[in-house]
Structure 1
């Protein structure tokens, strides 16, 4: 992933969060789960910094959206407690896998600070800029 792609996604996510009137943290990681871009909106709680990073990390390391990861990581799921591996993951929505047009892995985006559905929607809107 190029820095220009990461900043375009960051801007799109930030704009959507402002439009919705929510304060979030947005974390974008490359395909090796290293940071590319990050923003903490004014007023976003400090605790969601780590959550946004873990959502993006979960998406990258397991190559699935964190909402999908939640289906296997919950107490009745087939991989309960998996979120405690790899230095800490998260098992709720807001982390989205970022893929190139050919399906290749580019990285992940994590959004945290609003409702789970808003976090997911904001992340997907940002991810959509990759193919725009």
Structure 2
């Protein structure tokens, strides 16, 4: 199993922070390895304190199920195949802002979770971070 390195996680954080600045928003950004262990975290000055936990849970949720958190959210609606899944694993986050991080070979090496603004901006910042690994 491949894992994200600290150097890679720092590159992911830098790209995500740059996107947050470009969007004029304040974010909490969590990067976990393929085993969902926290590798790097950034709490931008004055970002919401409540989003610290959400960012970490988004990263873990994406890795637990190997899909973006927004996709899990679609499946977890009433009547959906994953309805109520957010109550598992100590609490999941099933709205956008968590995405997988893959290496150049396409292997999952971790995930990023972002929280602090609209779910659209959270996802955009997370994707920018994940895209930093080339």
Q: Output the TM-score relative to the length of structure 1.
A: 0.96
Contact 2:58 2:98 in 1 (8 A): yes
Bigger shift: residues 82-91 or 28-37: 82-91
Q: Give the Å deviation of 1:94.
A: 0.3
Q: Give the Å deviation of 1:16.
A: 1.1
| Match 2:108 to one of 105, 108, 114 | 105
The CA RMSD over aligned residues, in Å, is 0.9
For structure 1, the 5+ residue unaligned runs are: none
Residue 5 (structure 2) aligns with: 2
Contact 1:29 1:37 in 2 (8 A): yes
Residue 54 (structure 2) aligns with: 51
Structure with the higher helix share, 1 or 2? 1
The list of structure 1 runs, each at least 4 consecutive aligned residues, that deviate by more than 6 angstroms after superposition, is: none
Q: Output the TM-score relative to the length of structure 2.
A: 0.94
In the aligned structure 2, how far is the partner of 1:75 from the partner of 1:90? Answer: 16
Equivalent residues in 2 for 1:1-132 (5 A)?
1-131=4-134
For structure 2, the 5+ residue unaligned runs are: none
